[in-house]
């Protein structure tokens, strides 16, 4: 069952459109993510769902009821939506327990519920501390506990881990997913970090200049992108030019590959390559020049130039050491690849 539905949504600031013709559905109990570069419209969309920005066109439905459309809006406090902000937004003069109690003071078992929330986020025993006495990760857990205490229909998280260091961000993102799944809480996360989006979310929406390019599972975004933008944005994608053959065969400078674009035989197509699409092949007749390299521990990410001048990347075992300017033999990993007609991908 769909908990959140956006139909042909358009919204922005001060009458200026930012998001256009946005359509997506979030199922109850799922975690969705709005992913994209800065200024693409993902935070604007989140604020419209929360009720902080007016809807110019289209409709937002929550739990089967319309909460916003042009000329009509349900107040934010009546939407049963929780919010976790990038800067935590904790009250510095209140203890941890009182921060969690803030939205549930009128409930009969408020203190019991607050204690349960702190235990849920692994902060039991810290209720009498103040926010400045906690680490950044602990403060974010307090913010999560406070947002979950009123039992919202939907939880919104606006870049909640961006102020944390990389390792803590990775660990806390997994913890938050486990907490939300344990409670069956539906959520929408905004981020520009692909690793974070894939670690937390069931569905991810890729934004480009105020439009939703694709709303899909992380697996499908990587392996079956619907647009060239999604293909290049997700997972370090690069294109090489090929020529459509008979059936699903495409002739490229790396040999014939299995891919199919909706074009006639002989027509040019663009083939999507990922860093894991290429293999080290010392005896291959195809040689690529090393333009750059990034050591990543177990592997090295090589930036390579093909004979045609096209640039690609290859993720190879770190035992294979190649200097800048040297040439290495490469081959394509067996299996079908994604292709696009050049008129679409350019």
What is the enclosing helix (H) or strand (E) of 7?
strand 2-13
Residue 240's nearest CA partner among 311, 343, 332 is 311
Phi first, then psi: give them for residue 100, nearest 5 degrees.
-70, -35
List phi, psi (to 5°) of 132.
Answer: -70, -10
Ordered per-residue pLDDT tens for the chain, 346 residues: 799 999 999 998 877 889 999 999 999 999 999 999 989 999 999 999 999 999 999 999 999 999 999 999 999 999 999 999 888 889 999 999 999 999 898 888 899 999 999 999 999 999 999 999 999 999 999 999 999 999 999 999 999 988 888 888 899 999 999 999 999 999 999 999 999 999 999 999 999 999 999 999 999 999 999 999 999 999 888 999 999 887 778 999 999 888 877 788 888 999 999 999 999 999 999 999 999 999 999 999 999 999 999 999 999 999 999 999 999 999 999 888 999 987 544 4
- Say what the pLDDT of residue 16 is: 81
Instruction: Name the residue with tokens 């409709």.
Output: 59
> What is the CATH class of 2-228?
alpha beta
For CATH 2.40.50.140, the residue range(s) in the chain are 240-345
The answer to whether 253 touches 288, Cβ cutoff 8 Å, is no
Angle (CA) 21 186 211, round 5°: 15
Rounded Cα distance between 290 and 322, Å, is 7
- In the chain, count of helices (H) and strands (E)? 9, 21
- pTM summary value: 0.88
Closest to 95 measured CA to CA, from 132, 120, 40? 132
Cα 118 to the chain's mean position, in Å? Answer: 27
Classified as helix, coil or strand, 208 is strand
* Inter-residue contact 68 to 55 (CB < 8 Å): yes
Three-state DSSP state, 298: coil
- CA dist 194 and 120 (Å) reads 26
Provide CATH 3.40.50.300 ranges for the chain. Answer: 2-228
Q: Give the pair of three-digit tokens for residue 261.
A: 């674009």
Select the CATH number that applies to the domain covering 240-345 from these four: 1.10.275.10, 2.60.40.650, 2.40.50.140, 3.40.50.300.
2.40.50.140
């Amino acid at each position: 069952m769909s908990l959140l539905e956006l139909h042909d949504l358009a919204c922005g600031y001060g009458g200026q459109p930012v998001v256009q013709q946005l359509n997506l559905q979030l199922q109850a109990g799922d975690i969705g993510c709005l992913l994209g570069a800065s200024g693409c419209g993902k935070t604007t969309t989140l604020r419209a769902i929360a009720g902080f920005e007016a809807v110019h066109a289209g409709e937002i439905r929550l739990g089967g009821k319309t909460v916003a459309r042009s000329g009509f809006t349900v107040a934010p406090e009546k939407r049963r939506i929780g919010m976790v902000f990038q800067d935590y937004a904790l009250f510095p003069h209140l203890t941890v327990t009182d921060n969690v109690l803030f939205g549930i003071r009128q409930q009969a078992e408020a203190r019991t519920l607050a204690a349960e929330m702190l235990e849920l986020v692994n902060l039991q025993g810290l209720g009498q501390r103040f926010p400045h006495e906690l680490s950044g990760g602990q403060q974010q857990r307090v913010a999560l506990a406070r947002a979950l205490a009123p039992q919202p229909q939907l939880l919104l998280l606006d870049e909640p881990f961006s102020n944390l260091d990389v390792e803590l961000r990775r660990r806390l993102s997994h913890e938050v997913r486990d907490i939300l799944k344990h409670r069956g809480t539906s959520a929408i996360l905004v981020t520009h970090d692909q690793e974070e989006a894939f670690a937390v979310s069931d569905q991810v929406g890729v934004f480009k200049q105020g439009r939703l390019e694709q709303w899909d599972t992380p697996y499908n975004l990587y392996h079956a992108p619907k647009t060239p933008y999604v293909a290049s944005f997700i997972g370090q994608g690069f294109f090489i030019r090929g020529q459509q053959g008979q059936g699903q065969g495409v002739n490229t400078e790396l040999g014939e590959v299995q891919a199919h674009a909706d074009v006639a035989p002989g027509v040019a197509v663009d083939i999507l390559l990922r860093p894991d699409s290429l293999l080290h092949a010392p005896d291959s007749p195809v040689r690529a020049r090393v333009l750059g390299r990034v050591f990543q521990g177990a592997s090295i990410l090589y930036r390579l130039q093909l004979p045609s001048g096209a640039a690609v990347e290859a993720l190879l075992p770190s035992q294979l050491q190649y200097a800048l300017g040297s040439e290495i033999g490469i081959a394509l990993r067996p299996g079908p690849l994604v292709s696009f007609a050049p008129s679409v991908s350019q």
